[in-house]
Structure 1
């Protein structure tokens, strides 16, 4: 890796990639007992959150790191980010046309890049205040808006991955992207803002790296403890069971794994849960905490030896290409009858991701889609395709 590149950040992105792949392939519930699996308990909701937090870190580093707004003009930096977002959105739309059960993140990811543009030149203090406020208030806004969307839009979401056809229904598309989809960007902007706060710190500093681990553990544990107290000791869980969704779904087990598809309405107690993909304040605090732990640990491990985590950091440096390849492979795997054994699906893909990452690293090259995105960014930002690689 280049001397200026923090390989620990790439390694954290590699963890997120492999974690997301595992949740796409392995069952989240044991088919015999119905109990949550290890993959569900370890990676559901956390891997995708880490992916978004690391994106925020990358944007902070691209826009000055500890000195926001230095170097290129803020307008030029924003043009570059917007062009990168356009490439990611295009890839997401192309993948959305594949027949797969995976909820593809890329289009929402691109929208998040655009939503974060007003924050790219903010100082650390202001950015931290916005991040804290967004984590606290965006889930409340979503809780208030979703029922109105459910009543007034038909359909209120796209019902799958976003494709070109969905632009014919702009209201439904907007509702899905911002509030009702698998990755509601109104709440998910919290991850990018937290990532940008982390990216404004001196990430080469030992106290900062250790602080990310310690602070992340505290945030993650505290969020789960507060949620458990509110649901069990304060009686919130009984109130949830009395709602329409509580009567319809096995909420107890879903709170451990994933609340996707569960309509969280009818009781303010839904805001007390910390379940993966619930989008509540406590969920955001927990997953931001686990993301900070992974980032801090990867930075600590690569502090003295930048390539110590090369299998992860090399794959993490080209996640757009590898994620897209994974979606394409899974579209083929999903069509197989009978279904393939998950282990024979995951481990070859994980090995291929690592080997391809290392091969491109040894060649001193970026992944194909990373090259396109970077070129579009430089062209929009500087008016030329060549320039400093960051």
Structure 2
């Protein structure tokens, strides 16, 4: 008759959780996916005439996409050694795998770019971020923290200086649409848009992947780390947003920017709360004092990174709670979070079918969002329970294994 030592059971459970897949990370991806769907399908302003922010705009705009990017960095850290980064040949193989996976993501993104759709598709920028982060994959926690801090503080200033020069070119080095295959014929314009003048400027968004690498290099299996992520992320997010609002409303920032815009009646206060995309941030250094979503300023990067860290911490804590009560609390979120590339691609493809068309009879914007979200949850949950990969996830995984030398193509040895 064997006996069990109850004092050792929690330790064994923690070991299994650390060695296996972190469901909290998948759940955070699910939140990012559902949040991005919300900003695509639901209004972020009350109407075109009344630009009063909706709760969707206030809650998700800028934050959902940033969470998606931070989680990319977390995933890369987890796949390249976790707390102890890979070295030597293993690191080189991992970099090749990430690069080939980026090629797959870029191909999907460029294909979606050829669709007529009123959505800013993130995948090409996402793929370029994967390539740009390759030199940092072998770094430990301390140098990554230094790089992340420096990038958050420095990249917005350099972008502010470079953007006007790129936009002053003839024609302007900006696409004005999602990157597609035909844009490869004008590489200078494509690269300028992807890195600096487009909707998701890679130059500043590198900050998110660096923050994600920092989070992924932490000992996420330890009990206190998720608590620290939740608390520190909340404090940083609140402080950055408060400083930005104070700069705009109490220190004269918004008045200075309204003078630069010279557009009487323009609701800059509402735009600063929801989305600064489309406004040429030039002519005043006050633009850099904003914490507006999609402004790409240091305060915006800090706020959205803090929100991402807090969400990740909360999801990891819910994972722990679920283990404690023996209930998978995160299943409805981690299902879609485990196959975001496939579900995001399907979401954009379906949206293209409604471009410049009215919704079907009897449908509302709320109903359309519920349909997309429910489909993502049901399909994702089914794939997780069946232990299947999504089709595009399978392709990306195969590309990663090929790059690492773990998969051989027919005829290649």
**TM > 0.5 between the two?**
yes
Q: 1:118 to 1:153 in 2, by over 3 A?
A: farther
| 1:247, distance to aligned residue in structure 2 (A) | 5.3
TM-score (norm 1): 0.95
Q: Provide the rounded CA distance (Å) in 2 between the counterparts of 1:382 and 1:111.
A: 22
Describe how 1:151-166 pairs up with structure 2 within 5 A.
151-166=168-183
Q: Provide the rounded CA distance (Å) in 1 between the counterparts of 2:92 and 2:266.
A: 48
| 1:35, distance to aligned residue in structure 2 (A) | 1.3
Q: Provide the rounded CA distance (Å) in 2 between the counterparts of 1:148 and 1:48.
A: 27
Q: 1:347 to 1:335 in 2, by over 3 A?
A: same
Q: Secondary structure at the match of 1:366?
A: coil
1:8–1:298 contact (8 Å) kept in structure 2: yes
Q: Determine which of 49, 68, 75 is the counterpart of 1:58.
A: 75
1:319 alignment partner in structure 2: 340
1:4 alignment partner in structure 2: 20
| 1:72, distance to aligned residue in structure 2 (A) | 6.0
2:233–2:310 contact (8 Å) kept in structure 1: yes
1:355 alignment partner in structure 2: 378
1:241 alignment partner in structure 2: 258
Q: Provide the rounded CA distance (Å) in 2 between the counterparts of 1:72 and 1:161.
A: 37
TM-score (norm 2): 0.90
**Structure 2: unaligned runs, 5 residues or longer:** 1-15
Q: Provide the rounded CA distance (Å) in 2 between the counterparts of 1:321 and 1:385.
A: 24
1:181 alignment partner in structure 2: 198
| 1:248, distance to aligned residue in structure 2 (A) | 8.2
1:337 alignment partner in structure 2: 358
Describe how 1:17-96 pairs up with structure 2 within 5 A.
17-31=33-47, 33-69=50-86, 73-96=90-113
| 1:385, distance to aligned residue in structure 2 (A) | 5.5
Q: Provide the rounded CA distance (Å) in 1 between the counterparts of 2:93 and 2:262.
A: 47
| 1:334, distance to aligned residue in structure 2 (A) | 2.5
2:343–2:376 contact (8 Å) kept in structure 1: yes
After superposition, the C-alpha distances for 1:167-207 in whole angstroms (9 at most, x for unaligned) are 11111111101000000000000000000000000111121
| 1:338, distance to aligned residue in structure 2 (A) | 5.3
Q: Secondary structure at the match of 2:168?
A: helix
Q: 1:248 to 1:91 in 2, by over 3 A?
A: farther
2:32–2:68 contact (8 Å) kept in structure 1: yes
RMSD of the alignment, in Å? 1.8
1:240–1:246 contact (8 Å) kept in structure 2: no
| 1:228, distance to aligned residue in structure 2 (A) | 2.0
- The runs of at least 4 aligned residues of structure 1 exceeding 6 Å deviation read none
Q: 1:301 to 1:230 in 2, by over 3 A?
A: same
Q: Provide the rounded CA distance (Å) in 2 between the counterparts of 1:331 and 1:202.
A: 42
Q: Provide the rounded CA distance (Å) in 2 between the counterparts of 1:256 and 1:69.
A: 41
Describe how 1:366-377 pairs up with structure 2 within 5 A.
366-377=389-400
Q: 1:246 to 1:114 in 2, by over 3 A?
A: farther
Q: Provide the rounded CA distance (Å) in 2 between the counterparts of 1:380 and 1:78.
A: 8
Q: Secondary structure at the match of 1:205?
A: coil
1:230–1:272 contact (8 Å) kept in structure 2: yes
| 1:233, distance to aligned residue in structure 2 (A) | 2.4
1:53–1:192 contact (8 Å) kept in structure 2: yes
2:283 alignment partner in structure 1: 266
Q: Secondary structure at the match of 1:337?
A: coil
Q: Provide the rounded CA distance (Å) in 1 between the counterparts of 2:89 and 2:383.
A: 29
Q: Provide the rounded CA distance (Å) in 1 between the counterparts of 2:359 and 2:387.
A: 41
Q: Determine which of 329, 333, 347 is the counterpart of 1:308.
A: 329
Aligned length: 386
1:376–1:385 contact (8 Å) kept in structure 2: no
